[in-house]
Structure 1
Amino acid sequence: MHAITIREPGDPEVLEWREQPTPEPGRGEVAIDVAAAGINRADLAQRQGSYPPPPGASELPGLECSGTVAALGKGVTNWQVGDRVCALLAGGGYAERVIAPATQVLPIPEGVDLVEAAALPEVVCTVWSNVVQEGGLSRDQVLLVHGGSGGIGTCAIQIGRALGARVAATAGSEASLRLCAELGAETTVSYRDGDFVAEVKEMGGANVILDNMGASYLDRNLSALAQDGHLAVIGLQGGRKAELDLGKMLVKRIRVSALGLRGRPLDGPNGKAGIVADVRQRVWPMIERGEVRPVVHSTYPMSEAARAHELLEAGGVHGKVLLTTG
């Protein structure tokens, strides 16, 4: 098979489309012939050498894919060869074939085509685990989504609205703000010249904030939260270290979480199997009802992964960028 390898840490040109050994599934695993793989910012960090795969995971990049089941490992009874699926991965998605734990495989939702389905697993599981399972978002609460026009953001806005929450979103251009509004954000704020704290306070404060910025937004996020609010940090685009005002947290009874998805265990109370099962039960019906849809900015042949990485790094991407094998 062919796959994208990382020659050495560096810029996009270190990504190479090369012949690699074809992997075989072990016990509890499924081999998938890949139709498409989603690109995530974690892939960019891995390429740059700052986000290595967890122990035992494939060294190849790619945290989500869609395709067709090609082979089953021992003990797998809930999938059949030929099933059209998508999967949450710890690595290896930028390839013609990938191995996934059977518990991290999902059916293609009705109404979603095989390629577009690659835009779903990583973003949906990230949003659901942080905003709902950890943050407890519920009907009539306020959700603030930073980076609302990106892959995670477009998904979070839609899930928030499907749950009956009121959604505010930040974005960087008029086109991005319009997309956030079209997806269901009732309040949109430019992160270039707007004041999201003031806008969200007009809504009564945020019950949950999904933040991809980290340090640079920390104090303003605490100010924007309502009583008993929850700040879920999922990215560090604005830095890793900041001063934390514990007084604000005590007065408002604020909770802050910083939870990655890739390095979680397969099973157990914080495992990926439980997240995937909950997503299949709770979010897949939202997709099949048309309340949540994958937002795809563009697709590239997998051999042109370097061009796709350049696009994502340049900014202005709405939704997901996908790599296709066909």
Structure 2
Amino acid sequence: MHAVTIPEPGGPEALVWAEVPVPEPGEGEVLVEVAASAVNRADILQRQGFYDPPPGASPYPGLECSGRISALGPGVNTWAVGDEVCALLGGGGYAEQVAVPTGQLLPVPEGIDIRTAASLPEVTSTIWSNVFMVAHLRPGETLLVHGGGSGIGTMAIQLAKAVGARVAVTAGSKEKLERCAELGADILINYRDQDFVEEVRAGTDGQGADVILDIIGAKYLEQNIKALAVNGRLAIIGLQGGRKGELNLGALLAKRAAVTATSLRARPAAEKTAIVAAVREHVWPLVSDGRVRPVVDSTVPMSRATDAHRAMEESTHVGKILLTP
């Protein structure tokens, strides 16, 4: 089979479409013939040499995929060859075939085509685990999403609205903010010329955001604490703005606030299985009945993954960028 390999870390040109061995599904795994994968920021970090796959995971990039089961490993009796699935991966999505633990498999949602389904596993698992399982966003509360036009952002808007929350978003262009509004965002903030702390307070009668989903990290830490409401929860899932920041514990205490930081890729299999099960229970019905829809910006041949990575780094896209073998 072919896969996107990274012989040496570097820029987008470091991605090489090459012939590699077909993986063998192990105990409790299935082999999936990949219909599509999707690009995530973590893939760029891996390409640059800053984010190695967890032990035992495929060395190729790609944290999610969709396709059809082509073989069953030992002990698998809940899935069948030919089943259409999408999957959360520790790696290996940028390939024609990938071995997947059954606990990380999801059926393709009703009404979604098999390729588009590749855009769902990573974002839904990330958002549900952080915004709902950890930060416990409730109806009537306000969620602030940084990077509202991203794959994470476009899905977070929809899921928060589906449970009855208000949504504030930051984005870097009028066009992206308009797309966020179409998805249901209530408070639109252009981070290039607006102070998101002031805008969130103004849009919430001075209360602030109950939950903040942050992909920036250190650069936004101080402002995020200021933007939180009393009893607010800050969930950090990315470090695009740096790893080290100064935290005013007095401000945190005054608001009785909480800060959490999580990643998904390196979690133990049991935790991933629990998250995927929660997504199937709570999110898949919303997708199947059309209340939540995947947002796909473009589809690129996997052999041209370099183009997809350049597009991701330019940040002109809205939603997900897909790769097809």
Q: TM-score range by the shorter chain?
A: over 0.9
* 2:94 is equivalent to residue 94 of structure 1: yes
The aligned residue for residue 240 of structure 1 is 243
Q: Structure 2 unaligned segments of length 5 or more: list them.
A: none
The aligned residue for residue 317 of structure 1 is 317
The aligned residue for residue 116 of structure 1 is 116
The aligned residue for residue 252 of structure 2 is 249
What displacement does 1:143 show? 0.3
Q: Which amino acid aligns with 2:200?
A: V
1:1-326, aligned counterparts within 5 Å? 1-202=1-202, 203=204, 204-267=207-270, 271-325=271-325
Whole-Å separation in 2 of the counterparts to 1:111 and 1:197 = 39
Deviations 1:160-199 (A, max 9, x none): 0001000000000010000111111010100101111112
Whole-Å separation in 2 of the counterparts to 1:232 and 1:75 = 37
Secondary structure at 1:86 match in 2? strand
Whole-Å separation in 1 of the counterparts to 2:51 and 2:257 = 29
Q: For the aligned residues, what is the CA RMSD? A: 0.6
Q: Which amino acid aligns with 1:23?
A: P
Q: Which amino acid aligns with 1:240?
A: R
What displacement does 1:291 show? 1.2
Deviations 1:274-308 (A, max 9, x none): 00000000000011111111100101111000111
Q: Which amino acid aligns with 1:219?
A: E
Whole-Å separation in 2 of the counterparts to 1:177 and 1:254 = 28
Q: Structure 1 unaligned segments of length 5 or more: list them.
A: none
What displacement does 1:324 show? 0.4
Secondary structure at 1:82 match in 2? coil
Secondary structure at 1:235 match in 2? coil
Secondary structure at 1:236 match in 2? coil
Whole-Å separation in 1 of the counterparts to 2:137 and 2:107 = 26
Q: Post-superposition, which runs of at least 4 consecutive aligned residues in structure 1 deviate over 3 A? A: none
What displacement does 1:49 show? 0.2
Give the TM-score normalised by the residue count of structure 1: 0.98
Identical residues among aligned pairs (%): 60
Whole-Å separation in 1 of the counterparts to 2:72 and 2:37 = 20
Give the TM-score normalised by the residue count of structure 2: 0.98
What displacement does 1:322 show? 0.6
